[in-house]
Amino acid sequence: MELAGAVTLLVVVYVSCLLIALAKKKLSQKGRLPPGPIPLPLVGNFLQIKSSEILKSLLRLHEKYGPVFTVYLGARPVVVLCGHQAVKEALIDRAEDFSGRVTNATLEPTFQGYGVVFANGVCWKQMRRFSLTVLRNFGMGKKTIQDRIEEEAQFLLAEFRKTKGKEEKPIDPTYYFSQAVSNIICSIVFGDRFDYEDKDFQNLMHMMNNSFREMSTGWAQFYDTYASFLKYFPGPHTKVYDLLEEMRLFIAKRVKKNQETFDPSLPRDFIDCFLIQMEKEKDNPLSEFNVKNLELTTLNLFFAGTETVSSTLRYGFLFLVKYPDVQAKAHEEIDRVIGHNRVPNIEDRSQMPYMDAVIHEVQRVSDLIPMDLAHMVIRDTEFRGYLIPKGTEIYPILSTVLNDPTMFKTPDAFNPENFLDENGRFKKNDAFVPFSLGKRVCLGEALARMELFLFFTTILQSFRLKPLLAPEDLDTTPQESGFANIPPFYQISMIPR
C-alpha cells in the first residue's frame, strides 16, 4: 500500500513538472516574459498569491523579484510593474504599446468591451476623444464648471448646518459627499442636479457606494483571479452585476427621456450630444456611436465622477481629524488668504501651497486605486530586455509609485511636507499618479482637481472638524482593499467657525 502511494505521488510530481515544462516552452516560443515564481498547472501562482489580498501578495513578490516580474493568476500570465521608474517607462515612454485595457471579470458581464473606460482600439479612441470634447464644452477646466462646483459646495454647507442643534451632532459624511460630488457630474451628463432629499437619488448613491465596495472585497478578487472556473457557478460575484445593472437601467430611462424631448439644435447635456453624434452616423454600420456605448460611457462618467472624488474627500476628512495640527495649519492659511467674507475660488490655489500640499498628500496616502485598472500590450513589446506578447495583461502598481521611497521624503507617513520645498512652496512630484498616467490617464482629472480644492477649502472655511475618538485611536485602515481602497466609515462633528 505504501509503495502504491509513493508511486502515485511520483506520477503526480512527474506530470506536474511535465506540464510546467510544456507551459514554459510554449511561453518561450511566444515571448520572453520577465521572471517570477514558478506557476502550477491551472492554478498558476496560487501558493504565492493570496487571492483575497492580491496587492499585499504582489508587494511581497516585488521585494523578491524587483520592479518587473510575471505572475500567473490561474492560467493567465500578468506582468507586474512596480515603482515610479518602471511604471513611467511603460505608460509614458511606451504609452501606445501599453494602451490596451483588460476588464475585471466582475465587470465584464456589464461592460463587454463597451464604454470609454473598458473599450479598446477604435471604439476606445472615439469614445475618449468625444467624451473629452463634450466635458470641455460643458465647462471642465473652465469658469463655468467652477461656478457650478462653488454653488454645489454651498448646498453641501447648508446640509451640514442642518445637523447643528443645541448639542454637537456627529455625522457620517459618506453620502453627503457622494451626493454633492455626484451632482457636479450629473449637471454634465444629465443636465441638472438632484435634491439631496430625492429618494431615487439617495438610492442611486447607496447602489454606487455598495458596488464600489463589492468590487473590492476578497471574494471579488478571488473571482477575478479564477473566473475561468467560477463563472459557471452562482456566487457573490453577481452582486456587482446586479448593482451596475440597476444603475444602467436608471441611465437608460434618462436616455429615453432625452430622446422624447430631443432638440439637436440645443443640446442640454452629454446624452444629447451623444444622440446628435448617433444621428450623424446612423448610416454607418461600423459606427461606435450606439445606444450601448451611450449607456455604458455615461455610466463610466457617472460612476468615476462620483466615487473617486467622494472617497478622497472621506479619506481627507479622516486624516484632518487624525492629524489636528494639519487641520489647524490649513485653517490658518484659509483665514489668511481667503478670510471669511468671500467664497473660495480656484485662483486661490496658487496662493495656498499648504492646502494644495494637503490635498495631494490625501490623494497619495489614500491610494484609492492601488493597482490601477489592468492594462494590456496591444502588440508584441520589447521592454527592459524582455518580449511581452501581444494581449498580455499588465498591472502597473500605482501604490508602489505613490509610496516610492526614492521620490518622497516620508513615503510611509501622512505628511504634506512631501509636496513642499524648504521654503514652504508647493513642489510638484512626477510620482504623484492617483489619476494613473499615459494614454489611459483619467479623463476627468482636471474636474476632480478643481472639485477637491473647492470642496475642501469651502468646508474648512466654515467648519472645524472634531472626531468622536482621540486622534491616536482613529483607524484609517480601508474597510476593503482590492480594486479600490475603500475608506472606513466614521463619524465627526462639524463645528461652525
Domain, as residue range, for 104 = 31-496
Query: Residue 116: helix, strand or coil by DSSP?
Result: coil
- Integer Cα distance of 40 and 18 in angstroms: 11
- Give a yes or no: residue 12 inside a domain: no
What does the pLDDT read at residue 155? 97
Residues in the chain: 497
358 half-sphere exposure, CB direction, 13 A CA radius: 29
Confidence of residue 14 (pLDDT cuts 50, 70, 90): very low
Per-position DSSP letters for 153-222, written without gaps between them? HHHHHHHHHHT--SS---B--HHHHHHHHHHHHHHHHTSS---TT-HHHHHHHHHHHHHHHHTTSHHHHH
Percent of the chain with pLDDT over 70: 93
Query: Residue 334: helix, strand or coil by DSSP?
Result: helix
Count of CB atoms situated within 10 Å of the CB of 463: 19
Confidence of residue 25 (pLDDT cuts 50, 70, 90): very low
- Integer Cα distance of 496 and 308 in angstroms: 27
Average pLDDT over residues 221-235: 87
Residue with cell 483588460: 102
CB 188 within 8 A of CB 131: no
- Is the pLDDT reported for residue 4 higher than 70? no
Average pLDDT over residues 22-37: 67
What CATH number does the domain containing 175 carry? 1.10.630.10
Confidence of residue 443 (pLDDT cuts 50, 70, 90): very high
> What average pLDDT does the structure give for the chain?
92
- Is the pLDDT reported for residue 7 higher than 60? no
β-pair partners for 152? none
Q: Torsion angle, CA of 189/190/196/201, rounded to 10 degrees?
A: -90
- Integer Cα distance of 334 and 354 in angstroms: 10
The type of residue at 141 is: G
- Integer Cα distance of 418 and 267 in angstroms: 44
- Is the pLDDT reported for residue 257 higher than 90? yes
Q: Quick one: DSSP state of residue 77?
A: E
What does the pLDDT read at residue 128? 97
- Give a yes or no: residue 188 inside a domain: yes
Q: What distance separates the 2 farthest-apart alpha carbons in the chain? A: 89
- Give a yes or no: residue 247 inside a domain: yes
β-pair partners for 464? 495
- Is the pLDDT reported for residue 19 higher than 80? no
Q: Looking at the 3D structure of the chain, how many domains does it have?
A: 1
Q: What is the pLDDT of residues 139-166, one digit of tens each?
A: 877 778 999 999 999 999 999 998 764 4
Average pLDDT over residues 44-56: 93
End-to-end Cα spacing for the chain: 81
Query: Where is average pLDDT lowest: 15-19, 184-188, 267-271, 287-291?
Result: 15-19
What does the pLDDT read at residue 231? 83
Per-position DSSP letters for 370-401, written without gaps between them? TT-S-EE-SS-EEETTEEEPTT-EEEEEHHHH
What does the pLDDT read at residue 390? 97
Query: Residue 486: helix, strand or coil by DSSP?
Result: strand
Average pLDDT over residues 245-253: 96
- Give a yes or no: residue 24 inside a domain: no
Residue with cell 530586455: 385
Q: Quick one: DSSP state of residue 92?
A: I
Long-range contacts at 325-331 (CB < 8 A, ≥ 24 apart): 326/358, 326/414, 326/416, 327/460, 327/464, 327/465, 329/354, 330/354, 330/355, 330/358, 330/456, 330/460, 331/460, 331/464, 331/497
State the alpha helices, DSSP H only, in 199-290: 199-214, 218-230, 238-260, 270-280
Q: pTM of the full predicted structure?
A: 0.92
What does the pLDDT read at residue 233? 83
Q: What is the pLDDT of residues 99-137, one digit of tens each?
A: 999 999 999 999 999 999 999 999 999 999 999 999 999
Residue with cell 444603475: 247
Average pLDDT over residues 15-35: 58
Average pLDDT over residues 161-180: 83
- Give a yes or no: residue 204 inside a domain: yes
- Give a yes or no: residue 7 inside a domain: no
Radius of gyration of the chain (CA): 24
What does the pLDDT read at residue 167? 54
Q: Quick one: DSSP state of residue 341?
A: S
Average pLDDT over residues 221-237: 86
How far is residue 252 CA from its own chain's centroid?
Answer: 24
- Give a yes or no: residue 274 inside a domain: yes
Confidence of residue 235 (pLDDT cuts 50, 70, 90): confident
Q: What is the pLDDT of residues 457-476, one digit of tens each?
A: 999 999 999 999 999 999 99
- Give a yes or no: residue 13 inside a domain: no
Query: Where is average pLDDT lowest: 105-114, 221-230, 346-355, 443-452?
Result: 221-230
Average pLDDT over residues 305-322: 97
Q: What is the pLDDT of residues 325-345, one digit of tens each?
A: 999 999 999 999 999 999 999
